[in-house]
Each structure stands twice: as C-alpha cells, then as structure tokens.
Amino acid sequence: MTDETSYGFDTLQIHAGARPDPTTGARQTPIYQTTAYVFRDADHAAALFNLQEVGFIYSRLTNPTVAVLQERIATLEGGVGAVCCSSGHAAQIMALFPLMMPGNNVVVSTRLYGGTVTQFTHTIKRFGWNAKFVDFDDLDAVKAACDDQTRAVFCEAIANPGGYITDLDAISAIADEAGVPMIVDNTSATPYLCRPIEHGATLVVHSTTKYLTGNGTVTGGCVVDSGKFDWSASDKFPSLSAPEPAYHGLKFHETFGALAYTFHGIAIGLRDLGMTMNPQAAHYTLMGTETLSLRMDRHVENAMKIAEWLENDPRVDYVTYAGLKSSPYNARVEKICPRGAGGLFTFAVKGGYDACIKLVNALEIFSHVANLGDTRSLIIHSASTTHRQLTKDQQIAAGAAPEVVRVSIGTENADDLIADLDQALSKATA
Ligand SMILES: *Cc1c(COP(=O)(O)O)cnc(C)c1O
C-alpha cells in the first residue's frame, strides 16, 4: 500500500495491518493457531530474546493474527502501536502497569463503566495503587486531585452508562500541566466517532468486546499508544526511562523511542502478566472492525430516533442521550465526537426502581444482558446489576441511579425497537 494514513476510515478499517498471506496468498488474515515459532538458528533466537530483532517467539507475547489487529486498531486511533489483551479490564491493568509503582495514584472520572469503578476502588489497591475519583466536569477538582504521586488521568470519551461526553481537551491540558499521561477509554465511542489522541490522549484503551467486535462473540481489550509522551522528561516513569534489570539494563525509552510503551507492554506486560488475546478472538474482532463505520452510523441514527421518541413520552422522566438538544453535553458532540454521540444512554422510567425491573422483563427485542456495543439492542438496570457493588452515592455520581435503565441501541429497525419499548413501558407503568 502507499501511505496508509492518507486513506479514509472506511478503507483503513478493512485493510490496515493486513496483507495477503505471503506463503499461500490467502486474502483474509489466517488464524495463526500456534503457540510457538521456529527460530532460524541460535543467533536468531538470541536476537529475538534480547529485543534486538522483532519477530515471533511465543504466543503469550506475540501472534501474527493478533499483530494484524494491533496494527489495525493503532492505525484507526492514529497511534504508533497497540497491545491487545484478553479483555477490556486486562487492558486497563496493562495500561497502568508501566506507569505505576506502589504508592502512586491515578485520577479518574466518577462516570465510568461499573466494573471499572470496582476494579479501581478495590482491586488495584492490592498492587499498592490508588484511584482518586473526581467529577470530570469540575476542572478545578481534577486539577486539585493531581499530586506528586499521580501517574495518570483516566476517563471515558463517551462515558458509561449515561452516554456523557468528556471534555477531553480540557482534561488533557490538566494532565499536561501535571506531567502525566491522559488515558482515555474509547470503548463506547470507537475511533470512528472519537479520536482521543487528537484531543491530547497519550493512551487509548478499549474493551474490544463491544463495538469493535460488534457481535457479542468474544472478549478482548487493547491499549493504543500515541507515541507522543516524553517518558524521560521526569523521573516519574522509571519502568520506561530507567535501566530494566530483566533485560540486562536496557532503557525502553532510550532504545525504542516513540515505541517504548508498546514494546514494554509486550516484553514486560504480556510476558509477565500474561493477559494475552488469543488468535481466535483476534479473528472475530478483525471481522468486526471491517464494518465498524457502517454499524456506528446506524447505531447513532437509531439512538437519536429512539432518544427523541422516549423524551416525548409521558411515561419517561428524562433521557440522558448527548445527541439530544436538551442534554447539557450536546455542545460537546461537535467538538469531541462530530459523527454522533454513540448508541448508549440511560432513561428514567416513571415509577422508579420497580418500574425499571418490570420494563426489563417485558421487552421482547431488547435483550437483558450485561454488555454493550452489540448489533442487538441491549438493556440493563445498572443499579441492580453492573453498578450493584457501588454505594448509592457512587451509583448517582456514575449516572446509574436506581430509577434509570441503560440501553445500548442496536442496528435493528428503529420502528421495531420503538414498538417494543412502547409495549414494555405500558406494562411497566400500568
Ligand atoms: C465493557 C467495558 C469495559 C471492560 O471490558 P471487558 O472486555 O468486559 O473486560 C471497560 N470499559 C468500558 C467502557 C466497557 O464498556
């Protein structure tokens, strides 16, 4: 191919990272279902293990099918490299791992996927890491939360569950001032709707389980590096700037430059944490990425129609879709995600918690599942499921109050979805 970066998104989502198989000519990327790769000779093996030559050693580290997906997602996000892993949650740990030491903290938005709130509130403490939760619409509070132990700022571009849009430019200015990377979870927006690196993100994480795969078949995650952060500007990031004892004193940043973070993610992160994506999962996700823009356009079109219909329905108290003129986040759509506000939002049912439970039970096309970003329309009552482990205050701060349900609008016929909501709302509020 000529300069790949000059192609449009619709071309790159099909071609980036993939070439016809040099041995067989296979046009589709094969599933390289292998654990190990034969070394040419002992010198070749030594060079690979010393990171002097790039190649395949063992599939916990790298695999040709997974490598195609890594290059594709990195290209779509405008990054220099990416590391795929076994799930979105794995990607979050993998993203923080090169940055954090015991005693360090990450400043995070209160508006996050429920599982992320739990991971950051409880589990990362076992590593000696701490998360400081802040309302990311309060820029002074974000600024005040950054201290000399802060090593990253973390938010979602289009935030779960309400579909709120984060002012990435304003947050990245604060991260810059603090001398730490901004990490953006771009799962709900996808690189088709939002490109966080263009708004100052150093790292982008994904649950590829969702829209990138798009059909609810496999779990996966990805960490994309912009290649733009100067890891040696301070002594805050010794894993990347200081000699690495496990590689004979090699300094990642000095040796690999813009690719330091990606190489560290593979050579240390995947090697020692083992949160590897398998080639079957990479195959399903590659299939998904080929139609990403087509699906996202339909998700947005359907979400807009349904949000407008719900907003005008007397059985509904309010709708949080940022695409609606009434949303306080509407002004950010043009700046952060100009192709649309995604397919995810919440709405409050008159009758509260009990009516929400009845609604979920009465729907026929919508599936009641803990997932999002499927071609199928999905619904969940967050307060009794994904956000169940949170306190009531945390639920409200996260946008998962007891009276709201979260929908992930699929690519079905919008009129069918509206008819389904109509009959279920009647039963829920009877
Ligand atoms: C699902 C999700 C995650 C976690 O990803 P898994 O693949 O389920 O581990 C993280 N962030 C967001 C925004 C998600 O929707």
The amino acid present at 179, given as its one-letter code, is G
In this structure, the residue with its CA closest to atom 2 of ligand 1 is 207
Q: Give the pLDDT of residue 206.
A: 98
Q: Name all domains of the chain by residue range, CATH numbers in brackets.
A: 9-288 (3.40.640.10), 293-428 (3.90.1150.10)
Omega cis (within 30) before 161: yes
Average per-residue pLDDT for the chain: 95
Q: Give the pLDDT of residue 3.
A: 65
Q: What is the mean pLDDT of residues 174-180?
A: 98
The minimum-distance atom of ligand 1 relative to the CA of 156 is: 13
Q: What is the pLDDT of residues 289-308, one digit of tens each?
A: 999 999 999 999 999 999 99
Percent of the chain surpassing pLDDT 90: 87
Closest Cα to residue 407, out of 430, 376, 384?
376
What would the two tokens of residue 398 be? 């996260």
Q: What is the mean pLDDT of residues 208-237?
A: 97
Q: What is the pLDDT of residues 406-421, one digit of tens each?
A: 999 999 999 999 999 9
Contacts of 333 by beta carbon, 8 Å cutoff, 6+ apart: 165, 322, 323, 340, 341
Q: Which is more confident, 55 or 283?
A: 283
CA of 20 to the centre of ligand 1 (A): 32
Q: Give the pLDDT of residue 255.
A: 95
In this structure, the residue with its CA closest to atom 5 of ligand 1 is 88
Q: What is the pLDDT of residues 335-382, one digit of tens each?
A: 999 999 999 999 999 999 999 999 999 999 999 998 899 999 999 998
Q: How far apart are CA 355 and CA 348, in angstroms?
A: 10
pTM to 2 decimal places: 0.96
Q: What is the mean pLDDT of residues 160-187?
A: 96
Q: Give the pLDDT of residue 161.
A: 85
Q: Give the pLDDT of residue 5.
A: 67
CA of 327 to the centre of ligand 1 (A): 24
Residue 4 has pLDDT above 70, yes or no: no
30 burial level (CB within 10 Å; 0-12, 13-18, 19+): middle
Angle, to 10 degrees, between the axis of helix 114-121 and the axis of helix 88-96?
40
In this structure, the residue with its CA closest to atom 4 of ligand 1 is 88
CA of 112 to the centre of ligand 1 (A): 10
pLDDT band at 1 (very low <50, low <70, confident <90, very high): very low
Q: Give the pLDDT of residue 397.
A: 80
